[in-house]
Homo-oligomer: A and B are copies of this chain.
Amino acid sequence: MTYTAPLADMRFALREVAGLERIAALPGYEHATDDTVDAVLEEAAKLAGNGLAPLNRDGDKAGAKLENGVVRTAPGFTGIYKEFVDGGWNSLPFDPEFGGQGMPWLLATTVQEMWQAANMGFGLVLLLNQGAIDAIHHHGSPAQKAAYLPKMISGEWTGTMNLTEPQAGSDLGQLKSRAVKDGDHYLISGQKIFITYGEHDLTENIVHLVLARTPDAPAGVRGISLFIVPKFLPGPDGKPGKRNDLRCVSLEHKLGIHASPTCVMSFGDDGGATGWLVGEEGRGLSYMFTMMNNARLSVGIQGLAIAERAYQQAADFARTRVQSKDDGKPDPKPVSIVHHPDVRRMLMTMRAQIEAMRALGYYTAAGIDGALKHPDKETARKTQDRVDLLIPIVKAWFTDLGNEIASIGVQVHGGMGFIEETGAAQHLRDARILPIYEGTNGIQARDLVGRKVTKDGGETMLGLVREMRALVGELKKAPGDDLAAIAAGVAASADALENATKWVAQTAKGELVNALAGSVPFLRLAGTALGGWLLGKSALVAHGKLEAKLITARFFAEVILPPALAQLGPLKAAGRTVFALKDEQF
């Protein structure tokens, strides 16, 4: 039940798919040399494998505990968190002006995969802090940045996102928390739920970013503002001073990620928590959206990470569990189950989709770097469009696969998979939150269809289709059965994705609800097609050198692609029947 960062495949995806060399050549990333990147990966792999991974199962068993208003994280968490702060791991991708290392998001994403695979319950504190830093960095005042960013980037303090309320989940327009101006600050009151690491014992302060409504604000989302509401108000020396009027009133009893405290937070029980407005009133939700790309990519990476963790454990079990004879041989002696055809099919199904996710995830992260740093504005803009299109796909497709693959991991274990001691079931329990939080996967599909594809009539997606077709040409020129089979798969993907995209773009104009009824099948088709494309790219590089990579890409093309491409009919048909029943007939 250990975890070993898959450095070889990570390096391959970084270099051959995401184009690390090109990213490192962008102005501001010159220090991301090959040597530095390698050193970071290797140190991170050690910390993930030796430090974080061994705490995963105990973290699940012990969970986070609330006692007298204090949240105690699981055994070992405060110690390992200190190692993160001491090692400067929180600061990797952030602005050097505030103590960051200014490394590419591509590298930070690769390292993120390791933290989340090793210990998702712990990894969440890093993920949320990263999002909060991003929000303050983009929208905070100079004074706010100076007061909070250095502490958060070092990891001495952590950040949270306080969005959800009981009546306002996906629909934040319904939120009721109030913020009343009081001199240079606001008094915040209200209850927030599902607040990840809303309270904990890892740091001396916690910086809550809270969405709330000012008294005269209009109804709906335009009335929502964003506030910085620290647990302890920073004193004149910058250190945590007076305790703010906020507290964690309870922890949720969840299916998984037990080590991550999911808090019900109460603000202003004693008259109002002190909060400072970020940016302008009424813009809170739009500020949240600017950081959502980043957070949604991170959640997608969690899907990849938990899949990798489940795969490693399943492969290890399959290699060591001896049961039944080899079907391909006369010898009646029982063999390890990795020899059994269906067990191998399961392992290949895990592996092929993991490699496809890694390729697409790192490719998307490289896009974030390109959009941020490319000196040509038009190139940067187009890259940003592509990132915007890919983010909901990464978030939803990866997290659906994270669940499917964790479930296959349980299945490979047979009866032992259902026993908690084995640890396989934890991955499934942990993975189940991923299609839900940071915007449900239905909302991702809605974003993809109703916003990302619609806004340019599908042009950005069709640009990807053109690249897929160019790859088909290259694959066909190369020798061998494997590449020919992969070329056929990528060609079919391009056709299906083009057809689906045009239908979606057209249908969303006049019959939005019909396009939305097919949005999840569309996203599945798109994710699988794009993943297969990048695996095809990988296969072209791997050909003649990395036999396993080539085989895996062919398996993806021949076994994984067809049912996903067959979503073309369903995505168009769903709207015909989905609205026909009356509500009470369900």
Whether A171 and B323, one on each chain, are in contact in the complex, defined by CB atoms closer than 8 angstroms, is yes
Whether B341 and A581, one on each chain, are in contact in the complex, defined by CB atoms closer than 8 angstroms, is no
Query: A296-304, A472-480, A553-561: which one contacts chain B?
Result: A553-561
Within 8 A of B (CB), among A531-586: 547-548, 551-552, 554-555, 558-560, 562-570, 573-581, 583-586
Whether B577 and A319, one on each chain, are in contact in the complex, defined by CB atoms closer than 8 angstroms, is no
Whether B318 and A586, one on each chain, are in contact in the complex, defined by CB atoms closer than 8 angstroms, is yes
Whether A255 and B429, one on each chain, are in contact in the complex, defined by CB atoms closer than 8 angstroms, is yes
In Å, the complex CA distance between A559 and B300 comes to 26
Q: B338, B403, B432, B566: which contacts A583 (Cβ < 8 A)?
A: B338
Q: Is A169 an interface residue (CB 8 A)?
A: yes
Query: A87-95, A278-286, A406-414: which one contacts chain B?
Result: A406-414
Of chain B, the residue at the smallest CB distance from A442 is: B342
User: Which chain B residues border A255 with CB–CB below 8 Å?
Assistant: 410, 418-420, 425, 428-429
Q: Is A27 an interface residue (CB 8 A)?
A: no
In Å, the complex CA distance between A193 and B562 comes to 40
Q: B220, B418, B552, B583: which contacts A436 (Cβ < 8 A)?
A: B418
User: Which chain B residues border A565 with CB–CB below 8 Å?
Assistant: 566
Q: Is A1 an interface residue (CB 8 A)?
A: no
Interface size on A, residues (CB 8 A): 103
Copies per assembly = 2
Q: Is A343 an interface residue (CB 8 A)?
A: yes
Query: A12-20, A70-78, A134-142, A516-524: which one contacts chain B?
Result: A516-524
Q: Is A126 an interface residue (CB 8 A)?
A: no
Q: Is A144 an interface residue (CB 8 A)?
A: no
User: Which chain B residues border A568 with CB–CB below 8 Å?
Assistant: 562
User: Which chain B residues border A414 with CB–CB below 8 Å?
Assistant: 169-170, 436, 440
User: Which chain B residues border A324 with CB–CB below 8 Å?
Assistant: 170-171, 173
Q: Is A330 an interface residue (CB 8 A)?
A: no
In Å, the complex CA distance between A301 and B416 comes to 23
Whether A516 and B586, one on each chain, are in contact in the complex, defined by CB atoms closer than 8 angstroms, is no
Q: Is A31 an interface residue (CB 8 A)?
A: no
Query: A45-53, A344-352, A380-388: which one contacts chain B?
Result: A344-352
Whether B566 and A578, one on each chain, are in contact in the complex, defined by CB atoms closer than 8 angstroms, is no
Given A342-B445, A583-B336, are A254 and B171 neighbors across the interface (CB < 8 Å)?
no
Q: Is A527 an interface residue (CB 8 A)?
A: no
In Å, the complex CA distance between A416 and B559 comes to 35
Q: How far in angstroms is the closest Cβ of chain B from A264?
A: 11
In Å, the complex CA distance between A420 and B428 comes to 15
Q: Is A34 an interface residue (CB 8 A)?
A: no
In Å, the complex CA distance between A446 and B164 comes to 47
Of chain B, the residue at the smallest CB distance from A415 is: B194
Show 9 residue pairs from A and B whose CB-CB distance is below 8 angstroms, ordered by the A residue.
A255-B410, A327-B513, A341-B519, A341-B578, A345-B574, A351-B586, A418-B433, A554-B576, A562-B570
List 20 other contacts, CB 8 Å, given A171-B323, A253-B421, A429-B429: A169-B414, A170-B323, A254-B420, A255-B410, A255-B420, A327-B516, A328-B513, A328-B579, A342-B517, A344-B579, A344-B581, A345-B518, A348-B574, A348-B578, A414-B440, A554-B577, A555-B574, A555-B578, A559-B577, A563-B563
A-B interface, 10 closest residue pairs, ranked by CB to CB distance from nearest: A566-B566, A558-B573, A341-B516, A342-B442, A563-B563, A555-B577, A315-B586, A255-B425, A341-B517, A559-B570
